Structure 1
């Protein structure tokens, strides 16, 4: 029960015994006994009183902020990775954001290891103070087996979990990036306390996290949520998966970037061509261009918004969720995407079904993957503080 209590205090920051009893469906005496033991061991502390619901205000408990334990996370997309060290209060100790690291390169694993060494050195945190390492990345990630089946068995990224564990002798978890983002939204974002939600990860590609009955749904083999490869595109462009007609070729930020660059090649003027020289990440250049009102960037973002809405209409018809959240980097573009998404929903979705689903833009946006990756470490290994 200690692990469950510690997990809930990590996710909710502060809870009373009554709240823990409700969350864990355990008796008040059993929860109180564990709380007293954790207080005695200085693993948790009293942190004031909860709001009164009538009668005496209950004492709240939190993880001890002086605990010297940390989580190392690697949050990767196709071209960039963010390396973070956070404490158990979810405070960032050191972060190296948007480090260029193209996963398809033959030396990608070596680059990843060198960056891990760099952040550990810059933080001066000893390895034995880490409760775990979390890695989130795109692709067919089987978290139970600890492999990424998007790569050949001979590729270093296929068994990346075991390779990291072997080198650092630290428990490591690996998960698909979109499922990590879904977990972040469930625990810290707009999906908190919502039983059924769909979370779209809009980045270079288009991913999907599915929350059913408050649990992140993975499917039979762990690959549920391959939203980007639904054949909804009339474009004959070849997708990264090797098929044609995938939603991703018209509804991703990568598609908006390619269309913008094609327009510039046809002598259309766009300030994106200036911003791309001062930004390492093309997504940042596209966002910056749209923020200053660049018509080419806005037009191409509107196109992916419309296609995204077409895909969302399919999801609404199949799953009828309470809400659909657009998260990841694309959530920063909500003012441009949202109107086009709604136009497509109006066009393709049955009104009686669509009216019960809310479309929202995440407030976590680009931070969601990092928070979700740390959360999977806490979910699996926070009890390591008991043995250390």
Structure 2
């Protein structure tokens, strides 16, 4: 039960004994006994009193920040990866953001392994203080087997988890990027305390994490949530999956970038062409252009918002969720996307079904994947601090 208590203290930062009793459905004496033992071993500390609910204010507990245990996370997308080391109080120690790393490149696994070495060396943290490494990555990730089945068996990224563990002798967890974002929203964001939620990861592509009865739903073979490949597009553009008609080709940030660059080639003026010269990541250039009112960028973002709304309408009809959260980088563009999403829902959804679903943009946005990736390490390896 110690592991479950520590997990909950990580996810909630601070909890009282009464709150732990409710969350874990255990007796007050059993929780109190473990809390006292963890206090004695200096694994947790008292951290003040909770707000009063009418009676005596309960004492709260948190993981001891002086433990100096850390989590290393790699949050990868198709073109960039962010490497982060955080402590058990969710504070960033060091971060290498948006490192160019093309997953399709033949040397992608070597670059990834090299960047892990770089951030570990710069941090100066002893490896025995790292409780684990978390890798979130696009594709058909089988977290139980620790493989990415989007790649052939002989491809280095197929067994990248094993390669990381072999090189650094650190326990490693691998998971699909959209499922990690869903976990982040469930534990820290807009889906916290909600039993049924759908979390859309809007980035270069479009992913989906499904929360049912408070747990991430993976499906029979572990690949549930391939929202981006619903055949809703009339565009003849070839999708990354090799097929045509996928939602992703018209409803992703990559689609908005392609359309903006095509407009510029057709002699339309957009300040995106200036911003893209100073931003390594084209998504940053697109966001910056939209923030200063660039009409080409805003128009193309509106188009993907409408297509996203069309896809969301399908999800509402099938699953009738309490809420749908748009997370990932795209959530930073909520003021542009939201109206177009709602127009599509009004057009394609049966009103009686749609009215019970709340659509919202994530406040975690680009930080969601990092937080969710750290969460899967905690889920699997928080007991390492008990062992040491």
Q: TM-score, normalised by structure 1?
A: 0.99
- Which residue does 1:261 correspond to in 2? 261
Alpha-carbon distance in 1 for matches of 2:47, 2:266: 62
- After TM superposition, give the deviation of residue 206 of structure 1 in Å: 0.1
- Which residue does 1:3 correspond to in 2? 3
- Which residue does 1:291 correspond to in 2? 291
- After TM superposition, give the deviation of residue 54 of structure 1 in Å: 2.6
1:249 and 2:255 correspond: no
1:150 and 2:172 correspond: no
- After TM superposition, give the deviation of residue 48 of structure 1 in Å: 1.0
Alpha-carbon distance in 2 for matches of 1:278, 1:54: 55
- After TM superposition, give the deviation of residue 65 of structure 1 in Å: 1.0
1:366 and 2:384 correspond: no
Residue correspondence of structure 1 range 176-215 to structure 2 within 5 A: 176-215=176-215
Alpha-carbon distance in 2 for matches of 1:274, 1:315: 38
Alpha-carbon distance in 2 for matches of 1:181, 1:50: 29
Alpha-carbon distance in 2 for matches of 1:321, 1:15: 29
Alpha-carbon distance in 2 for matches of 1:20, 1:224: 31
The alignment's C-alpha RMSD in Å is 0.6
SS of equivalent residue, structure 1 residue 51: coil
- After TM superposition, give the deviation of residue 280 of structure 1 in Å: 0.2
Structure 1 gaps of 5+ residues are none
Alpha-carbon distance in 2 for matches of 1:4, 1:289: 45
- Which residue does 2:139 correspond to in 1? 139
Residue correspondence of structure 1 range 294-313 to structure 2 within 5 A: 294-313=294-313
- Which residue does 1:116 correspond to in 2? 116
SS of equivalent residue, structure 2 residue 317: helix
1:329 and 2:329 correspond: yes
Alpha-carbon distance in 1 for matches of 2:58, 2:380: 29
SS of equivalent residue, structure 1 residue 145: coil
Residue correspondence of structure 1 range 33-182 to structure 2 within 5 A: 33-182=33-182
- Which residue does 1:386 correspond to in 2? 386
Alpha-carbon distance in 2 for matches of 1:24, 1:219: 26
Summarize deviations over 1:342-372 as a string: whole Å, max 9, x none.
Answer: 0000000000010011110000000000000
Summarize deviations over 1:236-281 as a string: whole Å, max 9, x none.
Answer: 1110001110000000000000011111111111111111111000
Alpha-carbon distance in 2 for matches of 1:90, 1:373: 12
SS of equivalent residue, structure 1 residue 66: helix
Alpha-carbon distance in 2 for matches of 1:68, 1:366: 26
- After TM superposition, give the deviation of residue 377 of structure 1 in Å: 0.3
- After TM superposition, give the deviation of residue 193 of structure 1 in Å: 0.5
1:357 and 2:357 correspond: yes
- After TM superposition, give the deviation of residue 55 of structure 1 in Å: 2.1
Alpha-carbon distance in 1 for matches of 2:22, 2:220: 30
- Which residue does 2:273 correspond to in 1? 273
SS of equivalent residue, structure 2 residue 359: strand
- After TM superposition, give the deviation of residue 175 of structure 1 in Å: 0.3
Summarize deviations over 1:291-332 as a string: whole Å, max 9, x none.
Answer: 111111111000000000000000000011111000000000
Alpha-carbon distance in 2 for matches of 1:57, 1:367: 33
How many equivalent residue pairs? 388
Summarize deviations over 1:171-193 as a string: whole Å, max 9, x none.
Answer: 10000000000000011111111
- After TM superposition, give the deviation of residue 53 of structure 1 in Å: 2.1
Alpha-carbon distance in 2 for matches of 1:56, 1:294: 55
- Which residue does 2:29 correspond to in 1? 29
SS of equivalent residue, structure 2 residue 194: coil
